[in-house]
Amino acid sequence: MSNKPKIAVIGAGKWGQALHFALSFKQETYITSRTPRDIKNFTDLNTALNCEYLIIAIPAQQIKQWLKENFVFKNQKVLVASKGIEANTGEFLNEIYAEHVPEKNIGFISGPSFAAEVIQGLPCALVLNSTSKKLYQEFKPFFPDFIKTYYSADVIGAEVAGAYKNVLAIASGICEGLHLGKNAQASLISRGLVEMQRFGKNFGAKKSSFIGLSGAGDLFLTASSNMSRNYRVGLGLAQNKSLEEILEELGEVAEGVKTSEAIYKLSKEYNIYTPIANEVKLVLDGKNPKDSLKDLLNS
Ligand SMILES: NC(=O)c1ccc[n+]([C@@H]2O[C@H](COP(=O)([O-])OP(=O)(O)OC[C@H]3O[C@@H](n4cnc5c(N)ncnc54)[C@H](O)[C@@H]3O)[C@@H](O)[C@H]2O)c1
Ligand SMILES: O=P(O)(O)OC[C@H](O)CO
């Protein structure tokens, strides 16, 4: 029998470490990162790339460059764990990965999943999205009993939902920080859900993805808890902190910041009505959140 390691997580941030913890219940799982970490089965990138199965958990804005500089395709099956849209180009992650990995070899993880809970072994449900059901069937047995997995072929729906909810979580954090009340927050979240669905439809996403775990599930989680980094960005903005200060305090990625730029760009290009995401982008650029509130109420 070959001793070749079968599965590796690339990226040892919060989510990479949580996925590594979870997958290690069922089989030996490697993990790698730019800087060595004191984690069981930590390995170098080359060893990781030689695994048959990979989970890539590096921030969305770094993926394009990272793939160009580091990735070597050796017929691995890949699950992408990142949630975001590339801000410079407006590309979805599946478009970026398509230059390096064939469609049948790639899937995307979505659904409500704070790393801090997964790493405690608390129950959760995830969607593995791929045009290949075979790929889902191959990855499914790697997940531990406390994670229920679902299959969906709607890759773009999952991607839009996972990326968009981060922007809406910033808006919801602002709402909380400005003490606008639970009525306002519920309205914001539900109109946000309509907005992300409208945006996704333009790119071929299915409605069902937005009312399930990938859309409503992840949005309700992230936009209602200060466990979310994006939500905490919103809280900071409402307290008139500068973005630099907020991100420095956070010390982790808040994908909604850059994704709001991507949505702003794409919504202009395709003429999609995205009022909440647009206001988030403008507040991140310095607009007073109270002026954004007035504009949203009157639009
Ligand atoms: N934390 C969560 O609860 C959670 C859950 C689901 C999805 N995600 C998504 O997973 C992705 C990663 O989030 P995270 O929580 O692990 O973030 P994090 O800030 O905790 O860690 C990011 C990791 O990426 C690495 N990294 C940064 N730039 C890199 C580069 N150029 N090349 C290689 N590695 C690089 C960093 O060293 C760090 O280890 C994000 O897209 C996030 O939206 C996070
Ligand atoms: O902490 P956030 O805002 O990056 O959210 C983490 C996950 O995406 C929740 O599913």
Query: Is residue 163 in some structural domain?
Result: yes
Known binding residue 253? Answer is yes
77: burial class by Cβ within 10 Å (0-12, 13-18, 19+)? buried
Indicate the number of domains in the chain. Answer: 2
> In this structure, what CATH number is given to the domain that contains residue 96?
3.40.50.720
What is the residue-level pLDDT of the chain in tens, covering all 299 positions? 455 459 999 999 999 999 999 999 999 999 999 999 999 999 999 999 999 999 999 999 999 999 999 999 999 999 999 999 999 999 999 999 999 999 999 999 999 999 999 999 999 999 999 999 999 999 999 999 999 999 999 999 999 999 999 999 999 999 999 999 999 999 999 999 999 999 999 999 999 999 999 999 999 999 999 999 999 999 999 999 999 999 999 999 999 999 999 999 999 999 999 999 999 999 999 999 999 999 999 98
- Which is it for strands 53-56 and 29-32: parallel, antiparallel or unpaired? unpaired
- Are residues 219 and 126 located together in one domain of the fold? no
- Are residues 114 and 251 located together in one domain of the fold? no
Whether the CB of 217 sits within 6 Å of ligand 1: no
Known binding residue 230? Answer is yes
Whether the CB of 71 sits within 6 Å of ligand 1: no
- Are residues 137 and 262 located together in one domain of the fold? no
44: burial class by Cβ within 10 Å (0-12, 13-18, 19+)? exposed
- Are residues 127 and 205 located together in one domain of the fold? no
Known binding residue 18? Answer is no
Query: Is residue 281 in some structural domain?
Result: yes
Residue 60 identity (one-letter amino acid): A
Atom of ligand 2 nearest to the CA of 232: 3
- d(CA 134, CA 146) in angstroms, rounded, equals 22
Query: Is residue 1 in some structural domain?
Result: no
Interface confidence, given as ipTM, is: 0.98
> In this structure, what CATH number is given to the domain that contains residue 277?
1.10.1040.10
- Are residues 146 and 284 located together in one domain of the fold? no
Output the CA 119–ligand 1 centroid distance in Å. Answer: 15
Looking at all shown ligands, the one closest to residue 11's CA atom is 1
Could you give the residue numbers annotated as active site? 165
- d(CA 57, CA 54) in angstroms, rounded, equals 10
Query: Is residue 18 in some structural domain?
Result: yes
Residue 39 burial (CB count, 10 A): 18
- Are residues 167 and 49 located together in one domain of the fold? no
Output the CA 33–ligand 2 centroid distance in Å. Answer: 20
Query: Is residue 256 in some structural domain?
Result: yes
Query: Is residue 265 in some structural domain?
Result: yes
Q: Which of 121, 153, 185 marks a domain boundary?
A: 153
Q: Domain limits at 47?
A: 7-153
Query: Is residue 2 in some structural domain?
Result: no
Whether the CB of 19 sits within 6 Å of ligand 1: no
Output the CA 213–ligand 2 centroid distance in Å. Answer: 13
Q: Which of 135, 153, 171 marks a domain boundary?
A: 153
- Are residues 18 and 146 located together in one domain of the fold? yes
- Are residues 73 and 202 located together in one domain of the fold? no
- Are residues 147 and 160 located together in one domain of the fold? no
Query: Is residue 187 in some structural domain?
Result: yes
- Are residues 76 and 169 located together in one domain of the fold? no
Output the CA 182–ligand 1 centroid distance in Å. Answer: 31
Q: Which of 104, 126, 153 marks a domain boundary?
A: 153
Residue 36 φ/ψ region, left for φ over 0, alpha for ψ in the -120 to 50 degree band, beta for the rest: beta
Which token pair is 69? 């500089």
- Are residues 137 and 164 located together in one domain of the fold? no
Known binding residue 37? Answer is no
Q: What is the pLDDT of residue 8?
A: 98
- Are residues 85 and 200 located together in one domain of the fold? no
Protein residue closest via CA to atom 39 of ligand 1: 13
